[in-house]
Every structure is written in C-alpha cells, then in structure tokens.
Copies of this chain bind each other. A is one copy, B any other.
Amino acid sequence: MAIRLDDRAPDFEARFSAFLTTKREVSADVDAAVADIIADVRARGDAALHDWTEKLDRFATRTRGLRVSEAEIDAAVAAVKPEVMDALKLARDRIESHHARQKPRDDRYTDAIGVELGSLWTAIEAVGLYVPGGTASYPSSVLMNAVPAKVAGVDRLVMVVPTPGGEINPLVLAAARLAGVDEVYRVGGAQAVAALAYGTETIRPVAKIVGPGNAYVAAAKRRVFGAVGIDMIAGPSEVLVIADRDNDPDWLAADLIAQAEHDKAAQSILITDDAALADAVEKAVEHQLAALPRGAIAAESWRDYGAVILVESLDAAAPLSDRVAPEHLELAVADPEAMLARIRNAGAVFVGHHTPEAVGDYVGGSNHVLPTARSARFSSGLGVLDFMKRTSILKVPPAALRQIGPAAIALAEVEGLGGHARSVSIRLE
C-alpha cells in the first residue's frame, strides 16, 4: 500500500515535506574501484580494456575484437522481427522530426552603435553513448540518446555496450544502426567510460559522454567530467498523475504501475480531489499487480514510495506538483490545458486521458531521458542542445571602440586589472 496524504490534515505540510526529501536510492560507494579502473585504462589502453572485460564480463575481446563489426550489426538487424523493426523505425522517425525543431538558430547582428554581436551554434565533434547490458539494455534508450545527437550534427557517435558472456541484445544494435551510430564497441563499465574520455589504441576519445548506467558508470562519468562533458546522472524514474473524478481507475492504475515496474526505487504518485477515485485506483493497482510479469518489483516500489495525495480542491494540485517537480506528469483532468498553464516544474507533461506516459517512452517523439529526483526544478530533458555548444562573437569597429572603450577602461581600473585597461587604451591612442 502506498502512503496516503490529505491536505485537510493538520500535519499535511510536515508529512508532504518529509515525503519530498525521502531518499529513494542508496548509492554504492564504488569510487575507489572506479578510480583504479580509469587509471589502468589511461596507462595501458586496449590491454586494460581486454583484461577488465575478461574479468567483469567474462568475454575475450582480445581474440574477438573490441569493435562490433558491420557484419555483426547486419546479422542483428536480420534477427529482429519485421514488426519490431517497423516500430523502431516509427519511433526513430518521430523522435527525429520532433528534435529537428529544437535546432537553435545562429544569431548575428549589428547593434545601434555599430558593434557586431552573435551567437553561433556548432555540434560537438564526437560523442560517446553508454548503453547498459543485460536486461536494462533498451533499444528505445539508444534511439532517445542517439537521434538527437545526429540531428545536432555530431560527426562521430560512438556506442559502448557491455556484452556479459558475449551476449548482446540484437535490438540495441538494430536501434544503433537506425539512429546512425558510427562505431560500436563491446565494452562496458568504468573501463568503457575511461576509454571514451581518454582514448585507447582502438577507441579514439570523444568530447562528451551520455547515456544511463549502473553505479560504476555513474561514478566514472563524475570522475571524467571536465576532461569531457557528461549528461545528467539519472536517478530512479517517477510519475505524478493529477486526476479528477471523471477517470477510469483501471487506466490510472495501469499508468502508476507502468512507472513502478521500472525499478523498486521508482515512484508513482496520484493527486486527486476524489476520495472514492483514490480508493478505486488503489484497489485496481492491487488487482493489476497480480497479473503483471514484473509485479513483484512494481509492488515493492508502490509499497515503499508510492503515494496517494487527496486534496480538497484540484487548485492545490499544480503547486504541490511543482514542489515534487516530477520527471513525468500526467494531467487526467477535464481541462488539462488550464492546469498545464499553471505548471512550472516538470520534465514532461502528458496531457489528457489518452496520453499514457508509456507512449512518450517510445513513439510520442519527445525524449524519454528526463530530469529525475526533483531536478526538473533546474534542468531539462535531453535534447539537441545537449549535443551543441554556442560560441559568442564580438566585433568592435574603431568608432564603436571609441564609444564604449572608456567604460571598459574605467571598470578594468576599479577592478585592479591594469593590463585589461591597457589592451583597450592602446587602441584608442
């Protein structure tokens, strides 16, 4: 059973605040081990990759090669059922056309006094994409990370994926092919992150590393940050559903469970003004959990972190949701647009009764890599801008320098930076 909160209760604010700060993830302290692995890869390159892969993934890249060949990818693509391949293509196309709209435009202009300014956007030259192995090896995640990189114009998109015991998910290779990934290596963990950041004989270094991973991968990304860019470190997933009385409890229960099945640390929250609906949804959750393949995981998530929040009026829902700043927010209410206008902090909003969050995970077109753990207060989902950078342009003609130069000199002088002042004044003499 999820916890139940009621905003009419006198202790609501205290309980809601405590709920907000609940930690859902115990991060294993793997930093020392990761530091050793990174140092080894930097020192020994490919040899270190072979050794760590043999030890941790029980696979001999020394004889089989680090790189996944085009022939292997061809074989993987051939092994995927046509209807699944079609679904991947639909997803790829929809992600591509949505993200194409995110491409920023260069801005170059001359201001009133003749100074030329500008912001020029360029793609990052080379990006590494980490893909987990085993059961968390999701083709949809490959598309969500790789397609925006290619839309941005990344020249060299390099995927790494561990292949424990030599096993690789053919769907992941098919997704890589569809998304335009340029190189694939069968290496994972901190050793793969180190190879991407610093390079080895076989793997040339990249400038940024994205993609999800376990505690070792996350720790390695934190360690190499600075040498390369990294994306956010994703925490367990969450959904918040705001629902009025006119809802099918089974639909809402299905959405809460879909989130909960990800991980026992996932979180599903329902906010409603209708106590009868709340009861019906809780009953439907229990009922559906019994029939679900991943029911045990979902049940644990719902029991430990799930919440049903009863509010006197749905007017209270948007401000409460903003404090949660959910990764996913579903608006299952009569006038979702009016409520959307009041929402400030959310990774993605799913509007109306026929937009379950899961459709956004695959084929909606928007990205499913979204800010978790309340970070939607200050960050955005993955997008094209994460694969580009902006260069400022400044061009001051002599007449304009005479106009604004003296102010620069005055400020440099009060800041005690005589060399700065001199570099301007020497051009005004």
Query: Which A residues form the contact surface with B (CB < 8 A)?
Result: 83-84, 86-88, 90-91, 94, 97-98, 101-102, 107, 109, 111, 115-117, 119, 122, 124-125, 135, 138-140, 171, 207-208, 226, 228-229, 233, 250-251, 254-255, 257-258, 260-262, 288, 292-294, 298, 336, 340, 343-367, 370-371, 373, 375-381, 383, 385, 389-398, 401, 404-408, 410-412, 414-424, 426-427
- Each complex incorporates copies of this chain amounting to 2
Pick from A111, A363, A381, A394 the residue with the most CB of B within 10 Å: A394
Given contacts A294-B419, A414-B84, contact A392 B359 (CB under 8 A): no
How far is A376 from B389 in the complex, measured between Cα atoms in Å? 8
Q: What residues on B are CB-neighbors of A257 within 8 Å?
A: 419, 422-423
- A367 and B379 within 8 A (CB): no
Identity of the chain B residue whose Cβ is nearest the Cβ of A406 in the assembled complex: B87
How far is A124 from B374 in the complex, measured between Cα atoms in Å? 13
- B350 and A394 within 8 A (CB): yes
Given contacts A344-B122, A358-B412, A408-B359, contact A394 B418 (CB under 8 A): no
- A344 and B125 within 8 A (CB): yes
The 9 residue pairs across chains A and B that have the minimum distance between CB atoms: A229-B378, A351-B395, A87-B407, A261-B419, A348-B392, A358-B420, A366-B392, A380-B390, A254-B423
Q: Which of B83, B364, B377 contacts A115 (CB 8 A)?
A: B364
- B424 and A356 within 8 A (CB): yes
How far is A423 from B340 in the complex, measured between Cα atoms in Å? 22
Nearest CB on B from A122, distance (A) = 5
Given contacts A88-B411, A348-B392, contact A359 B258 (CB under 8 A): no
Q: What residues on B are CB-neighbors of A228 within 8 Å?
A: 378
Nearest CB on B from A406, distance (A) = 8
How far is A78 from B88 in the complex, measured between Cα atoms in Å? 65
Identity of the chain B residue whose Cβ is nearest the Cβ of A361 in the assembled complex: B420
Identity of the chain B residue whose Cβ is nearest the Cβ of A343 in the assembled complex: B391
- B91 and A407 within 8 A (CB): yes
Identity of the chain B residue whose Cβ is nearest the Cβ of A143 in the assembled complex: B411
Given contacts A102-B119, A229-B378, contact A356 B411 (CB under 8 A): no
Cβ contacts A to B, 20 pairs, < 8 Å: A87-B406, A91-B407, A124-B378, A125-B377, A138-B415, A140-B415, A258-B417, A292-B418, A292-B422, A345-B389, A347-B392, A348-B391, A354-B397, A354-B427, A359-B424, A362-B420, A363-B408, A364-B404, A366-B392, A377-B389
